[in-house]
């Protein structure tokens, strides 16, 4: 099985900015993301769709019937959003994350219907708290989850298996 991470949303890593992607809703003069920008992310989403997801989906489509494929959709993204909604950088990324991930799921499942798609659900250190989990559920509730095989955990960052969540 070939496994790929699909990871390049506009304003990626809205809270820590540790893994800034190459696509932004709005750019600073040095080419980094302007996380303080509060307007539409339409330009960044168009770039994500046409220059990343569409190209990626066309390549995956060529191998759809030749080899088993698993795709992990946007590690850390929705958990990062769910746990940092009070951070203005993340509130401004809401459109790019939710619309971008829905587009990725739909396009990848259309082009490679045999691929197993998993949505990243971080780890218990992020979503092991009831308020964080509730916010994550609110965000993912409207995604095309019927096209997902399930959730992936411990993809980025890590919580050792066997450590109990606080509740």
In the chain, the domains with their CATH numbers are: 2-152 (3.20.20.40)
Which residues are catalytic, by number? 76
CA distance 113 to 61: 9
pLDDT at residue 47 in the model:
97
| Mean pLDDT, the chain, integer | 88
pLDDT at residue 33 in the model:
87
pLDDT at residue 83 in the model:
87
Across-strand partners of 73? 6, 119
Helix (H/G/I), strand (E/B), else coil: 33: strand
pLDDT at residue 27 in the model:
92
Cβ atoms 60, 10 nearer than 8 A: no
- Predicted confidence (pLDDT) at residue 17 exceeds the cutoff of 70: no
Task: Give 74-98 pLDDT, tens digit per residue.
Answer: 998 888 888 888 888 887 788 888 9
Spacing of C-alpha 68 from chain mean position:
22
For tokens 């932004």, what's the residue? 24
Decide: pTM greater than 0.85.
Answer: yes
């Amino acid at each position: 099985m070939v496994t790929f991470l699909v990871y390049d949303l506009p304003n990626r890593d809205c809270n820590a900015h540790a893994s800034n992607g190459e696509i932004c809703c709005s750019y600073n003069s040095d080419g980094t993301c302007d996380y303080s920008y509060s307007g539409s992310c339409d330009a960044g989403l168009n770039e994500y769709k046409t220059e990343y997801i569409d190209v990626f989906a066309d390549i995956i489509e060529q191998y759809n019937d030749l080899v088993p494929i698993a795709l992990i959709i946007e590690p850390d993204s929705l958990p990062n959003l769910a746990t940092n909604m009070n951070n203005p950088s993340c509130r401004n990324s809401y459109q790019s994350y939710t619309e971008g991930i829905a587009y990725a799921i739909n396009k990848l499942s259309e082009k490679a219907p045999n691929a197993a798609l998993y949505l990243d659900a971080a780890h218990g250190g992020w979503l092991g708290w009831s308020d964080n989990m509730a916010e994550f559920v609110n965000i993912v509730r409207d995604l095309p989850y019927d096209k997902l095989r399930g959730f992936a955990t411990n993809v980025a960052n890590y919580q050792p298996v066997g450590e109990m969540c606080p509740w």
